[in-house]
Amino acid sequence: MLTADIPPNHSIYIQNLNERIKKEELKRSLYCLFSQFGRILDVVALKTPKLRGQAWVTFSEVTAAGHAVRQMQNFPFYDKPMRLQYAKAKSDCLAKAEGTFVPKDKKRKQEEKVERKREESQRPNTANGPSANGPSANNGVPAPSFQPSGQETMPPNNILFIQNLPHETTSMMLQLLFEQYPGFKEIRMIDAKPGIAFVEYEDDVQASIAMQPLQGFKITPQNPMVISFAKK
DNA sequence: AGCACA
């Protein structure tokens, strides 16, 4: 089994992410998407040359990470199928919580210990030449199946915007879910736009209270719903 | 492809 000889970990390692998405939006969207599996302790994404297109999501429970890796494999996210594995190392946030966190310079020393075997008198100048990566015009990738496109960062609103619903979803199904929370007013769906819905509450606070427990709720196994505040 | 915590 080539896929992963990596032992279970609280953190999952995600690759093949859309590199055009800004770091903060990416982290927000990953948080929304993965919170269905359990409590998320941290999301890490860097845009450095070596680390772009990748992210780590750390769960409070290893079992949550396991479910995430299996169920979200190849999930189309910003138009690209996610590749998921367990992370290879423990996340710093967890190590800090356990009090076993080793600051970075000490970590370096440990690595050097291993490298001492190959002690080289001098490093040949084979290091990275000037990067030949021009700003390649990211060949326009259109209309993904799941495109949060900044919605997560909307300010609170009494209307919620729901995405990634299976096309067979009815407003009655959604009502059963959303009316459990106080202040519920109505569901609005648009026949010409399957897969999305608007849910109205009396006020912003009630809307955000409903958003949290229903975030990532699955009407079918393939459709964790993605909830954000509607645009004003 | 690429396994970090700015």
Residue range A165-208, pLDDT digits in tens? 999 999 999 999 999 989 999 999 999 999 999 999 999 989 98
The domains of chain A, with CATH numbers, are 11-95 (3.30.70.330), 159-229 (3.30.70.330)
The residue that minimises its CA distance to C1' of B4 is: A44
The residue that minimises its CA distance to C1' of B5 is: A92
Strand partners, A55: A14
pLDDT score recorded for residue A129: 34
Closest nucleotide to A15: CA versus each C1': B2
The DSSP secondary-structure symbol of A16 reads: S
Q: What is the rounded distance in angstroms from the CA atom of residue A97 to the CA atom of residue A90?
A: 11
Q: Are A23 and A47 in contact (CB under 8 A)?
A: yes
Q: Does the pTM exceed 0.85?
A: no
Q: Are A208 and A199 in contact (CB under 8 A)?
A: no
Whether A141 CB is under 7 Å from strand B: no
What pLDDT digit, counting tens, does each position of A27-72 carry? 988 998 898 888 899 999 999 999 999 999 999 999 999 999 998 8
Provide the pLDDT confidence category of residue A104 given band limits of 50, 70 and 90. Answer: confident
Q: Are A82 and A16 in contact (CB under 8 A)?
A: yes
pLDDT score recorded for residue A126: 38
pLDDT score recorded for residue A114: 52
Closest nucleotide to A45: CA versus each C1': B4
From the list A109, A129, A191, A200, the residue with the least C-alpha distance to A162 is A200
Closest nucleotide to A49: CA versus each C1': B2
